[in-house]
Structure 1
Amino acid sequence: MRSIQVLFTALMVLALHSERVCAQSTADRISIEQRAVTLASGETIDYEVGTLFVPENRGKPNSRTIAIGFARIKALHPTGAPPVFWLPGGPGLDVLGAFTESGEAAQARLRSWLSFRLVGDLVIVGQRGYTFRGEKLVEMSDASPLDRPASVQAEAQAMRALAIRAMAHHSDKDLSGYTIDAFAADIDSLRRELRYDKISLFGGSFGSQWSLAVMRFHPEIVARAVLSSVEPLNNGYDMPSHVFAALQRIAYDADRDAGLAPYLPQGGVMEAVRALHRRFASQSTPKVVRVVVVDEVGKRQVVALGKEDLQLALLSRTSDAARWPAFILSLYHGRYEDWARETLQDRRAAPVTLIGPLVDSSLGVTAEREHQMRTDPATDLLGTWNFESNISSASDWPTPDMGDSVRLPRVSPIPVVFVHGDWDTSTPIENTLGLLPYFPNGRAILVHRAGHDGAFYQLRQSVAAKDAIFEFLRTGQTGALPTEVSLTVPRFELPPFPAPSRAR
């Protein structure tokens, strides 16, 4: 009997000790502070800001601990709905400054977050490796020479050099831990620490890819999701023809704009694109133009521009659809100054957010999709800028390849609303159209004339559509959701010179 009592006492002591260790461990995993923010209207809003502590490499028991920032805005009143976890894009978008910054962009973001209080609690989550309450992993890129045109191969070599330099400069860190499954596990950890059973997800661009990873690795915790500007796990690199199709849709409306009409060649904006390609891509003597520009300190700089610069411009100057036709028509009429000035900025050394190539190189792409991208007919006009440097440097980055079992889509019963703009040149709408069959409980809202920068927010021009999405997040009901929303034609910017008298 005495031995049983001694054993019982020992077990009780061990249990109490374990309880204290667990309590201490929990305290070390998360910290939360109460804050308040005053809006421009004078209204004061209470919120929480916190830090989640997680292993840098979840596959290594002795990995160092890193911090991830988050914020929580409580619901106006209990709704019974799962909390919405709002996942930012990028990778490398730090949004939590919206609580402390006074600019209009920050205020607009904060106002949009507050509207979620009608649904339930809102939790805005920072990204491992790029968070205001932890580390921001960056490395400076090399400057590109101005005296010769850009090339995809030179860009790929620069990316390989960047990877080697990043490994050397961050030798105290385990950069192999920044994989998409680790990002997903961070969400599950925060959910547990905040004591939520299930959550809903809201993400755009990389935030949608991050959300899809949560649904892949932790499907049991996701009640439903709203994804905008969708980036599937196998679509980190865009299909050139899908990007080109978005440009064609923009050009359709631009060709009917009265202000642009005097600048258009016969055949419209896309004929101007093809003419520029013919001009710069001659097989015998490819055209190179050298443009003199004055930089911000008054120094004259000569910028060399060639065929691959034109390909890069067609990819990178498209985020503002209202400005893109004027940019193309300026080049068509031989006005290269603005192009050269923007290229001068692009070729300078600049900080690179490391979690971008770390995640992208780890996710990679299936061999079948890579073959489709390389043989896509639109590579003649757009080149391989979208994927060459990442694929070429994948082995130089330390994050392990995730494999096709992660990349390829699977059928999921999770209810998802996909919101996608057909003018999106960063994550083309074909991403959603290809993923939708794998979500039998999914719905798609196609937003005509919406670009990449927040199709959901542009959709708010339709109050009924916004209300229907919030109703879906609250209850899961989809009956009121539209299938298509059309935005008004934008006011297209005009080229900054008088229209030629005989443009056609």
Structure 2
Amino acid sequence: MICISFLRSRASVAALILACSATAMGDAEGQTGGTGPPLTMEPFAYRAFDGRETAAERGRITVPERRGAPGGRTVEVAFVRLLTRAAQPDPPVVWMAGGPGTPGARMARVPVYFALFERIRARSDVILVDQRGLGMSSPVLDCPAADAPLDLFASEARWSAVFVERTAACARRWKEAGVDLAGYTSEESADDIDDIRAALGYERVSLLGHSYGTLLGQVYLQRHGERVHRAVLASVEGPNDRVSQPAVWDMLITRLGYFAARDSALAGAVPDLAGLYRRVLDRLERQPVDVAITQRPSNQPVTLRVGGIGLRWAMRMKMADGRTYATIPALLLALDRGEYQVLARELEPLYNGFSRSAMATAVDCAGGWPEGRMMDAGKAAQGALFRNVNLQWESGACGGAGVRTGRGGPPVFTTVPTLFISGTLDTNTPPFQAEEVRWGFPVSVHLVIDNAGHESLPSPAVQAIVARFLAGEDVSAERVSFPAPRFAATLSAPAGGPR
């Protein structure tokens, strides 16, 4: 990964940004004078987590908390603009991160994403938006940290009760502070993005979204499609896809089992990965076990009671990202031998991080899901290995938080040129979800990456295709394949496999 540096000091960073801010933007393709809400901009040295730094601007706009409630509170939406190096730029690219709950500007500091935006800004400005309620925006609707009960993972009933209790307490805290959670929706955030576009003086923008960010992108296309030049939707979530299908998760462990049975490192030790998982799971369902972890932030040793829900949740986290596939067989083999303490490494961060921002809850609940899809998923869960994939919504958390649950949304139709990207080993957003959304995108290409998990944008090969597509090139003939999953024989071995 190459970081192109053209400034030698913080002083020169500030000078350049102030000069750029004072210069009329009409020379760039697709830009006009700003007409949006009041805008403040300041020089900003944007730094990746690996220490690389680039010149940037940090901007803020003030918008209504609820546009349908005139005279109410306002909120501040923050963003970072990475200035292009092009003399005649293409329309700017707006980055929409996943979640909901991930600040776009923070996500872009991850080195592999920093590299992606460095590549894109060769031709376009890049706008990294911290959605309302997150990151540098204000207010930030985080939940206060508190120790979870030690029987959190003992049963599904206990997990659900604690989740509803925590979600309701967080929502209540912000409501008492005067926050209207009904203002935290994908529709309001899409309008925020369009207000940023207008305030910066851009006539059109291109969109780049990942996971939930693809849903936000669809909402923007539906509300402001005439302002979109091109769009890239990677790991696609449709308007009715908050409800996961248990069969998708069961199929992934079956597919991983196919690779595990042929992996030389395992030497035939796991001929049936799904069967091994079921055996261990059934044992924990019948007889929960105790696991020692360290409770944060007190750093005190505590003992968790762990039943089947604990293993299911740990497996879901490992199966959600191709970079953590590698140790799944070794974990299950150790558990099958009765070495239950190995669960500590998986459950300790899940226990200590057991919270969800009120913003994320509000956005998900407001979007909601068709009642029929939840009913179908419930029927399919009977006997499924991953029967609890919708537990957070089945628990009644939306009602507990006092947030109205939506019923999903209509499909989007647009002729904006769009690149869809999916991975064949992605359980969060499997390729068929992208195809369902793509039905309303007649001018589109779908890049399906063999052996890719939920995150494929870190791949240099994928980044090159994204940059070419945004530049207007035809990428319909492009093909990318990741290596097949590789597995570790022991838990101490480094993780590998596809992203």
- TM-score, normalising length from structure 2? 0.82
- Kept in 2: contact 1:197–1:221 (CA 8 A): yes
Q: Tell me whether 1:58 sits opposite 2:70 in the alignment.
A: no
Give the deviation of 1:148 after TM superposition: 7.4
Give the deviation of 1:78 after TM superposition: 4.0
**Residue in structure 2 matching 1:90, options 78, 96, 99:** 99
Moved more, 170-179 or 329-338: 329-338
- Kept in 2: contact 1:74–1:122 (CA 8 A): yes
Distance 1:362 1:38 in 2: 34
Following superposition of structure 1 onto structure 2, how do residues 79-478 of structure 1 map, counting pairs within 5 Å? 79=88, 81-97=90-106, 106-140=110-144, 143-147=147-151, 149-170=153-174, 171=176, 172-261=178-267, 263-264=269-270, 267-281=271-285, 286-292=286-292, 301-318=302-319, 319=321, 320-348=324-352, 350-377=354-381, 380-389=384-393, 392-404=396-408, 407-452=409-454, 454-458=455-459, 460=460, 462=461, 466-475=463-472, 477-478=473-474
Corresponding residue for residue 485 of structure 1: 480
Instruction: Summarize the Cα distance change of 1:269–1:61 in structure 2 as closer, same or farther, 3 Å threshold.
Output: same
Distance 1:302 1:38 in 2: 39
Secondary structure, counterpart of 1:495 in structure 2: coil
Secondary structure, counterpart of 2:121 in structure 1: helix
Give the deviation of 1:420 after TM superposition: 1.2
* 1:374-431 Cα shifts (integer Å, max 9, x gaps): 1115763112243444661222334444444xx2324332221111112223323332
Q: Give the residue type in structure 2 aligned to 1:493.
A: A
Distance 2:118 2:367 in 1: 34
Distance 1:34 1:294 in 2: 41
Following superposition of structure 1 onto structure 2, how do residues 36-75 of structure 1 map, counting pairs within 5 Å? 36=45, 45-75=54-84
* 1:325-344 Cα shifts (integer Å, max 9, x gaps): 32223223322112145334
Give the deviation of 1:119 after TM superposition: 3.2
Distance 2:52 2:337 in 1: 52
Moved more, 173-182 or 434-443: 434-443
* 1:238-265 Cα shifts (integer Å, max 9, x gaps): 211112223333332222211122532x
Secondary structure, counterpart of 1:347 in structure 2: helix
Q: Tell me whether 1:34 sits opposite 2:43 in the alignment.
A: yes
Give the deviation of 1:37 after TM superposition: 5.1
- Kept in 2: contact 1:361–1:391 (CA 8 A): no
**Residue in structure 2 matching 1:494, options 477, 489, 495:** 489
Between structures 1 and 2, the one with greater helix share: 1
* 1:276-297 Cα shifts (integer Å, max 9, x gaps): 244345xxxx232234567788
* 1:447-501 Cα shifts (integer Å, max 9, x gaps): 122222x31223x2x3xx54343222122x435542x421123542332489xxx
Indicate the percent of aligned positions where both proteins have the same amino acid: 25
Corresponding residue for residue 9 of structure 2: none
Q: Give the residue type in structure 2 aligned to 1:29.
A: P
Q: Give the residue type in structure 2 aligned to 1:339.
A: L
Instruction: Summarize the Cα distance change of 1:495–1:183 in structure 2 as closer, same or farther, 3 Å threshold.
Output: same
- Kept in 2: contact 1:308–1:383 (CA 8 A): no
Moved more, 117-126 or 165-174: 165-174
Distance 1:365 1:38 in 2: 38
- Kept in 1: contact 2:205–2:230 (CA 8 A): yes
Give the deviation of 1:316 after TM superposition: 2.4
Give the deviation of 1:89 after TM superposition: 1.5
Secondary structure, counterpart of 1:317 in structure 2: helix
Secondary structure, counterpart of 1:382 in structure 2: coil
Give the deviation of 1:350 after TM superposition: 4.4
Q: Give the residue type in structure 1 aligned to 2:484.
A: V
- Kept in 2: contact 1:254–1:269 (CA 8 A): yes
Corresponding residue for residue 18 of structure 1: none
Instruction: Summarize the Cα distance change of 1:229–1:60 in structure 2 as closer, same or farther, 3 Å threshold.
Output: same
Secondary structure, counterpart of 2:385 in structure 1: helix
- Kept in 1: contact 2:438–2:444 (CA 8 A): yes
Instruction: Summarize the Cα distance change of 1:301–1:47 in structure 2 as closer, same or farther, 3 Å threshold.
Output: closer
- Kept in 2: contact 1:72–1:123 (CA 8 A): yes
Q: Give the residue type in structure 1 aligned to 2:225.
A: P
Distance 2:302 2:46 in 1: 46
Corresponding residue for residue 86 of structure 2: 77
Distance 1:400 1:377 in 2: 25
Distance 2:428 2:155 in 1: 21
Q: Where in structure 2 are there 5+ consecutive unaligned residues?
A: 1-33, 494-499
Q: Where in structure 1 are there 5+ consecutive unaligned residues?
A: 1-24, 100-104, 499-504
Secondary structure, counterpart of 1:456 in structure 2: coil
Give the deviation of 1:137 after TM superposition: 0.8
Instruction: Summarize the Cα distance change of 1:43–1:383 in structure 2 as closer, same or farther, 3 Å threshold.
Output: closer
Distance 1:469 1:448 in 2: 17
Q: Give the residue type in structure 2 aligned to 1:254.
A: A
Give the deviation of 1:185 after TM superposition: 0.8
Moved more, 83-92 or 385-394: 385-394
